[in-house]
Amino acid sequence: MRFLGYLFLLLILAGGAAYLTKPAEAEAEAVLRQEVMLKVATEEIGEARGAAENLALAACKLRPNDCYDLLRGGMDVRYTDKTLWLEVELEGYERRAKCYGAFGRFFCPGGWAEK
């Protein structure tokens, strides 16, 4: 019986920690910006793309903040506060992702999947 009491206490403590460390929407936007800019920075300009795509990628590498603002306009992002975690659904550019923010971090099981 004592074990159940400790287990219940542990669950209460974990729930309280999750509630206090749940990321806000602004933090989710900052992580999204960081991830998109990192992806643009690490992409290589090459023959695998057409000339227009290479030109757009080069422009994005030169002005990453403007590029992010342009790319962000094509994404639909929905936030759902689930009390102990933040659920973020991203959709755009023929891809979608579902991420969860908890304990000060974001987890996207499955990553950017094609629709």
Query: Could you report the per-residue pLDDT of 10-29, keeping only the tens digit for each?
Result: 999 988 888 888 999 999 99
Total-model pTM? 0.75
Tell whether 41 is covered by a domain: yes
Tell whether 47 is covered by a domain: yes
Tell whether 13 is covered by a domain: no
40: containing domain:
22-114
The full DSSP string for 7-50 is HHHHHHHHHHHHHHTPPPHHHHHHHHHHHHHHHHHHPPPSTTS-
d(CA 86, CA 108): 12
Tell whether 10 is covered by a domain: no
Tell whether 29 is covered by a domain: yes
Tell whether 16 is covered by a domain: no
Tell whether 38 is covered by a domain: yes
Q: What total number of domains does the chain contain?
A: 1
Question: What are the tokens at 4?
Answer: 């159940």
Output the tens digit of pLDDT for each of the chain's 115 residues: 788 888 988 999 988 888 888 999 999 999 888 888 888 888 888 777 778 888 888 888 888 888 888 888 889 999 999 999 999 999 988 889 999 999 989 988 887 777 6
